[in-house]
Structures are given as structure tokens and as C-alpha cells.
Amino acid sequence: MKKILLTGVSGLLGSNLAFCWREHCEILGIYNQHAWALDGIKTKQTDLSDPSAVRVLLKDFHPDVIVHAAAAVDVDKCEQDPDWALRGNVTATKNLAEAAAKDSKFVYISTDLVYDGVKGNYTETDPVNPVNVYAKTKLAGEQETSRLTNVLIARTNIFGFNVQDKICFAERVIKEAKARTIKGFTDSFFSSLYTCDMASLLSVAIEKDLRGIYHFGSSTALSRYDFADTLAQKLGYGKSLINASSIKDFPFKARRAPDLSLQTRKLSDATGIKVPTEEETIEHFVKDYKNGINGELK
């Protein structure tokens, strides 16, 4: 049974990874401000921006694998408070990378936003060109792990069930589309992946000791409008509940990249697993929602 140090355990991805892996791994989940409990998971409060605390943490637990899912993920807040973004996305990563034992595998959860979204259909070898503070600090986090010999960088876009009192775009469709229409951008594209599909793919990638940069997204892409429309229909809500809109008309504080569609052939070839399409990963999300997985996580 692998020992996994999982940072950001009370976040969207961290909590979902812990939920999916809890029966197969010994997990120590790290949180900073938001405590969260789950049967079978040990958790510990640690400020990852404190290098001495990180050194003690890794010395005491000595994990086989470090999965660094903690991040300052509020894109607009990062733009307004770059120091906050730097602490959460660069300093914390640097501290973990410097304290990691040479025999520990390091998995860094990055983002599709390292690309500028001009051309879309990105491969792992395409040039990066982040367009906002969040993306720049996440890319800097990638660079902080470059000294490690056994690092897997997972560039991803995810959706799932949040354990905190905030919701992702998919959850907003569930919560609001029955009561009123919601907006979906027709000119913003992504290859988003359901967190439990991410957990399955990441587990195999760790077992196969994949190293380097891989895209962990769905194998196809949808606009945010088509994503919301597909999800609403699979929930039985009806097509008319989603209003088409443009990302250009939304008053974001941070610039957004319009087309972040990803190619996932490298991951599929390396793992031997068929990466789900966007529609398939939405179906998995809906199935779990109907089976009450969101309630178990909450």
C-alpha cells in the first residue's frame, strides 16, 4: 500500500482524489485553512509556505508519492493579489520540491491555462504563454519541480463535487438550471475532466511511473455553452435553460484564454487507457450525482 502525501485535501481535486483512493493507499491529507474529515483518511494542518513545517512534515511521514494538488486557484483573486498567488502556487511548491526525498515520486497538478488559448488543440510540446497571474504562477510551480528526477506534471482542467461552500461550473448547472436559465460561453473551449476520471488516470500514471508533462483532460473538447447544455440534458433539465453568451462580455478581472482544448494521445499511449471524451466524463459525473456521491463527500 503506497504512502501518499496529498496536499489540498479539502479542495475540489484533493478531496475527490482522497475519496477515490482511500481504500487502496495510506493517505495523509494536508490542508491549510479548511479542515475536512473522511473515514480512512488522516489529515493534518500545515502551512506549505513555511519551509521548516514542510521539512518536518515530509521527514515524519516519508511518503512514496507526493501529490501536490494544493493551489491558489481563484484566478481573479490572483490577479488582484499576486503575492497571495506567489505564496500559494510557487513558494509552497518550491518548499515541497526542496524537502522531497530523492526516492519520492512528485506529482504536480498544473493547469491548461499555461497556454494562451489562441490556437487550441494543444500538445504537451506546444509553447506555453500564460496570460494571467494565476497561470504564470502555476507555470513557475512547474519550473520549481524541474530539479526533481521523478516528477509528473499533470496539466488539467477539472470539474467535480466540492466539499467546501463553493461550486464549480458543473455544480452550478445542477444547482441553478432547474430554477432559472444560466449563461454558457460559446467562444470558450476546454477539455475538462471529471475528478473521479482524473483519479483513475492519475493512479495508473503513478503505477507506471510516468515522468514529464502530460495532459489530463477529456479526449475531446466542448464550449462552455455545449458543456452546460450537455450536462443539463443528461440531468433531464432541457435545452432551453442554457443561454448562449460570449466570454468577451463577462467582466473578469483576469484575462482568460479562449481555446484550451487539449490533445491527450500521449497519456492514452503511455497508460494504455482510453481517455474519456467530454460527453463520457460528463456521463460519469451525472451517474455519480444520481448515486449520491456528492452527499458522501459533503
Decide the pairing of beta strands 222-223 and 189-190.
Answer: antiparallel
Q: In 79-178, which ranges are E strands? A: 105-109, 151-156, 158-159
The CATH number assigned to the domain holding 266 equals 3.40.50.720
Q: Is the pLDDT of residue 290 over 90?
A: yes
Q: What's the number of domains the chain is made of? A: 1
**Is residue 51 one of the residues assigned to a domain?**
yes
**Is residue 236 one of the residues assigned to a domain?**
no
Domain containing residue 112: 3-164+190-220+261-282
- The predicted-structure confidence for 131-176, as pLDDT tens digits, reads as follows 999 999 999 999 999 889 999 999 999 999 999 888 888 998 888 7
DSSP 277: P
**Is residue 23 one of the residues assigned to a domain?**
yes
Which ranges of 155-220 would DSSP assign to H, the alpha helix?
169-176, 195-207
- The predicted-structure confidence for 182-224, as pLDDT tens digits, reads as follows 889 999 999 999 999 999 999 999 999 999 999 999 999 999 9
**Is residue 28 one of the residues assigned to a domain?**
yes
Give the pLDDT confidence score for residue 240 in this predicted structure: 64
**Is residue 288 one of the residues assigned to a domain?**
no
Strand partners, 107: 67, 152
**Is residue 30 one of the residues assigned to a domain?**
yes
Q: Which helix (H) or strand (E) holds 212?
A: strand 212-216
**Is residue 47 one of the residues assigned to a domain?**
yes
Q: Is the pLDDT of residue 238 over 90?
A: no
- The predicted-structure confidence for 10-56, as pLDDT tens digits, reads as follows 999 999 999 999 999 999 999 998 999 888 899 999 999 999 999 99
**Is residue 39 one of the residues assigned to a domain?**
yes
Give the pLDDT confidence score for residue 295 in this predicted structure: 87
